[in-house]
Amino acid sequence: MLIYSKMLRGSGNYTTSIRYKSLFSSLGFEVFLYSVEDFIDVDKEAQDMEQFLLRFKISLILGVNITRSAGVLYQATRKIAVPYILVVAGTDANITFQQK
């Protein structure tokens, strides 16, 4: 399993990701953390992630911070069909989607 999130120590996304990692690990999943960068080339990031998914045989992805992770996860999983779940919480839920 992969958790894709902004891994800035002390942030809500980081704390949430660590909590999910602990939960899923306790359920028997091998959990990898993959950090979202602020300013990325989505196409390159998606290619890199696709290779990561294949290399580590990832079968499920949890995207924390939908505004940063959705585009990359969509592109990275189109060819290899790895299911993903997007978490809408914190800034996404309280600010980003209220402004749209």
Residue 79 pLDDT > 70:
yes
Q: 2-99 has which CATH code?
A: 3.40.50.2300
Domain definitions of the chain by residue range: 2-99
Bigger pLDDT: 66 or 93? 66
Banded pLDDT at 88 (limits 50, 70, 90): confident
Give the mean model confidence (pLDDT) for residues 44-68: 92
Length of the chain: 100
- In this structure, the dihedral spanned by the alpha carbons of residues 79, 36, 45 and 50, taken in order and rounded to 10 degrees, is -30
pLDDT digits (tens, 9 = 90+) for 57-75: 999 999 988 878 888 999 9
Q: What is the pLDDT of residue 82?
A: 96
Largest CA distance in the chain: 39
Helix (H, G, I), strand (E, B) or coil at 3: strand
Listed range (14-23, 26-35, 88-97) with the worst mean pLDDT: 88-97
